[in-house]
Amino acid sequence: MRQAGALLLLGLLGAAPAARAQDPAGDPRAGRRLAGGTCAACHGNDGIAVQPDAPSLAGQNRSYLAAQLRAYRDGTRRHEQMSVVAETLDEAQIRDLAAWYNSIEVEATVPGR
């Protein structure tokens, strides 16, 4: 009985990465780790751009971000740095990055109100 339980647990643990890869929403924590090493130099640690020619990504729509990263990856959208970076991203990484930037809450103040 104990062996069957251990085998079941191992089976579930083994299935977790496959189930994770199918998560259409992505994992913001994994995206944060990836962004810190890959994206922060231009887009900032918190998604607020530090380079004048880079957009801020904090609070951006998840579907939009994922679509743009896919476009850079497959060459339908070109940018000197982004095309090179996106070529290395797999689908799960794209979803994770999109989830991370989407999870950052941004507050805007409209002048004169």
Is 87 in contact with 73 (CB distance < 8 Å)? yes
pLDDT, tens digit, 9 for 90 and up, residues 33-89? 999 988 999 999 999 999 999 999 999 999 999 999 999 999 999 999 999 999 999
Token reading at 108: 């805007």
pLDDT at 4: 45
Q: What is the residue extent of each domain of the chain?
A: 25-103
Query: For residue 98, what are the contacts with CB-CB under 8 A and spacing of at least 6?
Result: 26, 31, 60, 62, 63, 65, 66, 69
Q: Does position 3 have pLDDT exceeding 90, yes or no?
A: no
42-46, long-range: CB < 8 A, 24+ apart? 42/81, 46/104
CATH class assigned to 25-103: mainly alpha
Q: Does position 106 have pLDDT exceeding 60, yes or no?
A: yes
Average pLDDT value over all residues in the chain: 85
Dihedral (CA of 69, 73, 74, 80) sign: positive
Closest among 23, 87, 93, 81 to 55, alpha carbons compared: 81
